Structure 1
Amino acid sequence: MTTTTHPETQIVVDPDVPLVRIVREFDAPPEKVFRAHVDLELFARWTGPKGMEIRIDRHDCRTGGAYRYVMSQDGEDYGFNGVFHEVRPNELIVQTFAFEGMPDDVALERLVLEDLGNGRTRLTSTSLVDSFEGRDGFVASGMEVGVNEGYEKLDDLLARDEGGAR
């Protein structure tokens, strides 16, 4: 396994399975981290790399719901979409994830929130793609930058306790 560590973020690319695992701890309880993922306004404030504008077309984060958003920078648009297969408050989100620039490479993602006590949460996100080429395409497309910068923005949002992220 290849492991890249940034401040509190671990991204693991499995050599045997077309999978990426991201582990990140937050100084906030699971209900706040969960709400930042499911609340449309909060999600739009932290997701993705710095400097990207985001337009959310839909974000119905419930079992059976769907989402689509577009990130833009320098006149370029990058669309993403998927379906929420299972949503359990404060503990689990299972969804598909597709970058519209690579529509044949759909990932199945499982996001688990673990209460560490003392107002801390460990988020473990596992993304499984049906091919190594698809997985490697996601990783090569700047996923690491988007993940790290997005989680830095989420840290700031949670620290400020804005938007009712409680």
Structure 2
Amino acid sequence: MADTEFVIEPGRQDLVMIRMFDAPPDVVFRAITDPELIPRWWGPHVLTTRVDRMEVRPGGRWRYVNVDAHGREWAFSGVYHAVVPPERYVRTWEFEGAPEEVALETVTLTEVDGRTRYVAQSVHPSVEARDAIVRADGPRGGRESMDRLAVLLGTVADM
């Protein structure tokens, strides 16, 4: 599986994103939890990402800001609930423009023949909230992020 796969089932509150990476889980885990590396892959390719806060530990807070070429900003934030390196983390995820729409995201990394199967499941407060993310082209942003992460992992083999 070279591309990012999405599972978006009618009537369900969750969205699942799956991707295989040509790197072991510990390297992928570092790339997705290192505040210095996040701006190199997180978000759509037309935006830059700034990490305002990233405390990867249970109870730790995170906040990323996407910025467009005109300086407009879109912030995302949440709290880590579980961190089990290099296998998984669980955190809340919210777009600060819709603070009532907090999702619970679980990212799981599984080794498969020296590669990593990345699965991110986001459970939204309602089917309507999940569908709003889909309509806002969230899967495109997720796909672009995963493509950028694959490139990063390919260039930094000994992270």
With structure 2 as the length reference, what TM-score do the two structures score? 0.94
Percentage of matched positions with identical amino acids: 40
State the distance in 1 between where 2:99 and 2:111 align: 35
Aligned residue number for residue 82 of structure 1: 78
Aligned residue for 1:40, secondary structure, equals: coil
1:97 aligns with: 93
Residue deviations 1:47-100 (CA, integer Å, cap 9, x gap)? 011020112110111121110111011332111000000000010110000001
Please identify which structure carries the higher helix content: 1
- State how far apart, in whole Å, the 2-side matches of 1:43 and 1:59 are: 10
The two structures have a TM-score, normalised by structure 1, of 0.90
Moved more, 89-98 or 153-162: 153-162
Give the deviation of 1:13 after TM superposition: 1.0
2:37 aligned residue (27, 36, 42) = 42
- From 111, 132, 137, the equivalent of 1:137 is 132
Q: Is the 8 A contact 2:39 2:48 kept in 1?
A: no
Distance in structure 1 (CA, Å) of the matches to 2:77 and 2:134: 17
- 2:147 pairs with 1:152: yes
Structure with a larger share of its residues in strand: 1
- 2:6 is aligned, of 7, 11, 21, to 11
Q: Which runs of 5+ in 2 are unaligned?
A: none
Matched letter for residue 64 of structure 1? G
- 1:91-137: CA deviations, max 9, x gaps? 011000000111111100111100002x2000111110111111111
- Can you list the C-alpha shifts for 1:139-161, whole angstroms capped at 9, x where unaligned? 22221121111111111111111
Stretches of 4+ aligned residues off by more than 6 angstroms: none
